Amino acid sequence: MHALATLLPVGAPALPLDEAGKYVAAAFIVFMVLLVVYVAIMAAKLQRIEKELRELAGFAENRAKGEEAAPARDEVSAR
């Protein structure tokens, strides 16, 4: 502990806990907020991907129905 104390800046006295606690809390809260914001952005991205996938699934289903209906029409017209 003494070795570290000699390396730290001279004239930087220990802050009383109430004042120091404010800064320490701010630093850790900033970290957590950044993490939460990042996760929220990623969640929004994943929602967008999910929406696109739903659209594509709908598009593929409609196309498949159209292809099924087309041969049936051809058969009717051939008769």
Partner 1 sequence: MYGKGLRPLSIATVVAILAAFSLVFFYAPLDADQGFIQKIFYLHVPLAITALIGFVIGGLFAIAHLRSGNRKWDAYSYVSIHMSVIFGVAVLITGSIWAKASWGHWWVWDEPTLVSFLIVFLMYATYYPFRYAIEDPERQARYASVFAVTAGAFVPLNFMAVRMAQSLVHPRTFGTANGGLPGEMMLVFLCCLATMALLWVTLVKFELTAKSASGQVKRLRRALDAPAPGGASRIAPEVS
Token duo for residue 6: 């000699």
- Can you say whether the dihedral through the CA atoms of 14, 16, 19, 20 is positive or negative? positive
Are 20 and 14 in contact, with CB atoms under 8 Å apart?
A: yes
* Interface with partner 1 in residues 14-73 (CB under 8 A): 14-15, 17, 19-21, 23-24, 26-28, 30-31, 34-35, 38, 42, 45-46, 49, 52-53, 55-56, 59-60, 63
Whole-number Å distance between alpha carbons of 3 and 70: 84
- Residues near partner 1, by CB under 8 A: 1-9, 12-15, 17, 19-21, 23-24, 26-28, 30-31, 34-35, 38, 42, 45-46, 49, 52-53, 55-56, 59-60, 63
